[in-house]
Structure 1
C-alpha cells in the first residue's frame, strides 16, 4: 500500500481536484494544523489523542505526503493545539489531559507519550513558541496564561486572564490571546513578557480564532457570526482597523474557524463551517480568491514557511450539534499559485461590512 498522498480525483471535500489528500489523517476531528518553520513537515492535532507528522515533498506542482510519526497524549486525551520550536526540531502540544507536552522529532518517547513540560488545571486550548526567549506559552480553560522553560516543571511566569482561552497566536514578540467573554489581550514578549493592551473584541459574538499580522502591527480575529475583525495595535499610516462579513450564504451565518496569514505577501486565508476557503487582502480590502464550497466543515488551515503550500482539514467542527454529524476526517494540501494569494493592483470584489 502506498504511503504517499494522491490527488483526490474529484473528492467533494477538496478545493481542487489536484490537491494532495494526506494519508492516515486520524480517526476523529482535526483540531489544528502546523508547518515546521524550517522544512516541509506538517503536524496535526486530533480529538483521538494523536499528534501526527508528515514529510511533504513538492516538485513540478506535484505534492506527496508521507507519514513520518505519531505520538499520543496521555490516555488518548484530545489534542487541541500544537506549535513548532524555532529550529523545527520540537513540537509542543496542549490538550484535554491538561498537559503541555514536548515531542522531539525523530525520537520515540516512552510509551509513545510526549514528555510533559507543563500543566494547567483545565484543558490546554492554545500553545505558542516565543523565539526570542525560547519559552513556550500556553493558555487554558482555567483562565491562565503560563510561560514554560523546557528544562523545568514550574512555569517561569503566569498571567491571570478574565476568562477561558479560546485561541492564541505568537509572531516574533507579539502574543495575542482571545478568551470567552470577547476579551482580547496583547502581550509584548521582548524580554520579560508583559501586557501591552486589552480590549473588547470588535466583533459582537464569541471569538473563535485569532492570528497575528506577519509584521506584528496587529491581529485578525474571527467569530461565530461569520465576521473577521482587522485591528492595528499601533498607528500605521493609511491603515485603520475595520471588520467585514464572510462565510455567509444568503441568510445563513457560519463560524470563522481559522485565519492563516501568508508569510510573504501578508495576505490571509479564512476557513469556516460552511466548508469554504477564501483568500483576502486586508490592505486593499478585497477578496483575492473564493474557492467552491466543500461538503464538510473546515476547522483549521495553515500556509507553509515558503507560502507555496496550504494545508487544510476537512473534519466536523460540531457547529451543527450532535444530530448533524458529518462523518470522516481528511487533510488536503493545496499548491498555492502566486496569483491566488498576492495583492492585486486593482480592487476586485470587496469586503462586506
Structure 2
C-alpha cells in the first residue's frame, strides 16, 4: 500500500541543525539506545565496544563510560531506571555496566553458543528485579535473572534470531526463516503464537508499539509492516513501501534499500525509519501519513534512537554490511548525528490540525 502524503511544506525536513557527536566509535555502529532517565546515549560498535555519552550539558556529547567485548557488539539497551546499560554481540556474551556502582567494571551476565544478535531488559511477573532476554544465532532466546549465572528459561527455534524487542507484556522475536514468534511475558516460558512474516524477504528489525499491542517490522526489501498482536486487532495490520527511489523518473527501474532500524517516539508513539539509502523518515501509523522525510546524509544509516522525551533523534551514519565485508572501505563515514526534533515533527497529523 502507499502512505498518504501530507502537504509538501510539512513533510520535507532539513539537516541544517544536526550536530555530530564527538569521539565516535572506530568502526561500524550497530545499535543506539538512549537512557530512559537522562540524556545518556549508548552506542554499540563493531570495534568491540559500547560507549556511553552524556549529552546533558554539551550538544555534541561527552564520553563517560565504556564496555569492552571480545568481538563486534551488535545490540545495546538500558534498564528501566536508566542505571544499567547492557550489550551483546559476536563474542557470544552479554555484559552489563552499572553506572551507579562507583566505577566497578562491567559484568558478564549471559552466554550463548553463537553470536547474540539482540538484547533487552524487561520486567517479568512476580520478580523483584529487572531481567534480560538475549536472542542468538544459536537459535535460542534465553532469559537471565541478574542475580544468578544460569538462564532462568530458554526457548528454542528452528532458525537463527535476527531481531527481538519487548514492551509491556509483549516480546517479539524475528527469525531467519521469516517467522515471527510472539511471547506473552505473563507466560514467558512458552511461545504465545507464531506467524509468518508479511514481508517477502529477510526480516531486519522489530520494534514494539509503546502500548505493547503490536510491533513494526522492517526488512531488506524497502518495506515496513505494522502488525497487531491479538487476533482481534490483527485485521488492522498493514505493510507499505518506503526507502525506494526511481533510477530515472518515469522509468520502471527502482532502487530498493534495506530498512536498518525502526524507532518509536516515546511520547507520541509515532515511528522513524532509516535505511541503506542514507535517509531517515518519520511516520504516523494510525493515520497512515509520512510526517517528515529528510535528505540523504552521505552514507547508510545503520541505527537510530529517540531520546527519553523525544526531543533528540540520534542516528548513526556508518557502513551497514549490506554489501558484505569487501565493501567496508575506509572512505565510509562513521559518525553519530543528533537531530533536534520539533514537537510538530512527530505529532500525529490529527493533533497538528487542531493547533
TM-score between the two structures when normalised by the length of structure 2: 0.87
Q: Which residue of 238, 242, 248 maps to 2:238?
A: 242
Q: Secondary structure at the match of 1:328?
A: coil
For residues 170 and 98 of structure 2, the distance between their equivalents in structure 1, rounded to whole angstroms, comes to 25
CA distance in 2, matches of 1:260, 1:270: 7
Look up the SS of the partner of 1:339 in the other structure.
Answer: helix
2:155–2:189 contact (8 Å) kept in structure 1: no
The residue aligned with 2:112 is 120
Contact 2:119–2:133 (CA<8 Å) still a contact in 1?
yes
**Structure-2 residue corresponding to 1:90:** 84
State the shift of 1:328 in Å. 2.8
**Deviation of 1:338 (Å):** 1.1
Alignment partner for residue 338 of structure 2, among 330, 333, 349? 333
Please state how far the C-alpha of 1:100 moved relative to its aligned partner: 1.4
Tell me by how many angstroms 1:135 deviates: 1.2
2:234, 2:131 → 1: CA distance? Answer: 35
- Give secondary structure in 2 for the equivalent of 1:44: strand
- TM-score between both structures, scaled by the size of structure 1: 0.88
- Which one of the candidate residues 150, 175, 180 is aligned to 2:176? 180
1:286 Cα deviation after fit: 1.1
Q: Which runs of 4+ in 1 moved over 6 A?
A: 236-239
SS of structure 1 residue aligned to 2:345: helix
User: In structure 1, the residue corresponding to 2:302 is in which secondary structure?
Assistant: coil
CA contact (8 A) 1:130 1:189 kept: no
Match of 1:223 in 2: 219
Partner Cα distance (2:189, 2:141) in 1: 11
Q: For residues 122 and 289 of structure 1, what CA distance do their matches in structure 2 show? A: 39
Query: Unaligned regions of 5+ residues in structure 1, if any?
Result: 1-13, 349-353
- Of 84, 107, 122, 1:130 maps to 122
Does 1:79 pair with 2:73?
yes
1:69 corresponding residue in structure 2: 65
1:284 is paired with a residue whose SS is: coil
Q: Say which SS state the counterpart of residue 291 (structure 2) adopts.
A: strand
In structure 1, which of residues 150, 154, 169 is the aligned counterpart of residue 150 of structure 2? 154
The partner residue of 1:189 within 185, 191, 194 is 185
**2:289·2:349 contact (CA, 8 Å) conserved in 1?**
no
Find the aligned partners of 2:132 and 2:309 in 1 and give their Cα distance: 24
Q: Closer, same or farther in 2 for the Cα pair 1:119/1:15, shift >3 Å? A: farther
Partner of 1:293: 296
Aligned equivalents of 2:319 and 2:192: distance in 1? 36
Equivalent in the alignment of 2:274 = 271
